Amino acid sequence: ETHGISFRIQINVKELLDKDILLKLLFHLPVSYPSTPPDISVNSDQLTRAQCMDVKEQLLEQAKQHLSEPMVHDLILWVQQHLKGVIKQSATVCNEKTTLSEGTEDGIWMLLLHLDHMRAKAKYVKTVEKWASNLRLTGRLMFMGKIILILLQGDRSSIKEYLILQKTSKVDVDSSGKKCREKMMRVLCETEVQSQHKRFQTFEVKEYSALEELQKEFETAGLTTLFSEFVPPLLK
């Protein structure tokens, strides 16, 4: 009612070199849809980030031509028919997955989130791990006493995509056991990764028995300032 809905669609398009290109499209339909166009994110293991951005920009242009009428199906058909034309000016299709270490034109970004609680902890953790894997995000889901933090690193578009999922998906249950959205999440920090910051190579779920252990995790990653600015206040 307040956030709209988000959903992912995967389609295969036979394109360059007669190879199937798997496109992963994430649509976020705002409450005002279709009077307002959807937010769209495009990912593919066979395309470069620049090619994915080109496809996204073309889809958003097409969406503007369909305002006030349902458009997702039309957008899917359009990308199936025009993908080759959109990417033909870009570099050749990559055969290997783009790794985070290669970076992107947007740079690598970092996100620190604070969650108030997890009632259905096992399901919630599994969901966060799945999203991080799908979006190729690395980092930590950290538990220390009642403190729950999610620290993510990755492409800026993937970070934003994660935030949409976190805010709009039913990831937990309420006091009566009914599935519910995350309404008490706070974004503590969203910034570009700097040279002094170390990159996480994987996404891990970790529990810490003392604040000193949690602090050491941040310090090892070159994030001492981030820790001192945002974590101690959570204990008050």
Alpha-carbon gap, residue 191 to 107, rounded angstroms: 10
| Model confidence pLDDT, tens digit, residues 27-69 | 989 888 988 888 888 888 888 777 888 888 889 989 998 888 8
- Tell me, yes or no, whether 227 and 115 share the same domain: yes
Write down the pTM of the prediction: 0.58
pLDDT band at 15 (very low <50, low <70, confident <90, very high): low
For residue 100, tell me if it sits in a domain.
Answer: no
Number of domains in the chain: 2
For residue 9, tell me if it sits in a domain.
Answer: yes
- Tell me, yes or no, whether 129 and 197 share the same domain: yes
For residue 99, tell me if it sits in a domain.
Answer: no
* CATH number for 224: 3.30.70.100
- Tell me, yes or no, whether 202 and 131 share the same domain: yes
Alpha-carbon gap, residue 189 to 152, rounded angstroms: 10
- Tell me, yes or no, whether 67 and 120 share the same domain: no
Q: Which residue has the tokens 């889809």?
A: 59
* CATH number for 36: 3.10.110.10
- Structural domain for 205, as ranges: 109-234
For residue 103, tell me if it sits in a domain.
Answer: no
- Tell me, yes or no, whether 70 and 116 share the same domain: no
pLDDT reading at 145 higher than 80 = yes
For residue 121, tell me if it sits in a domain.
Answer: yes
DSSP H helical ranges for 139-231:
156-168, 211-220, 224-230
> Can you give the three-state secondary structure of 83-105, one letter per residue?
HHHHHCCCCCCCCCCCCHHHCCC
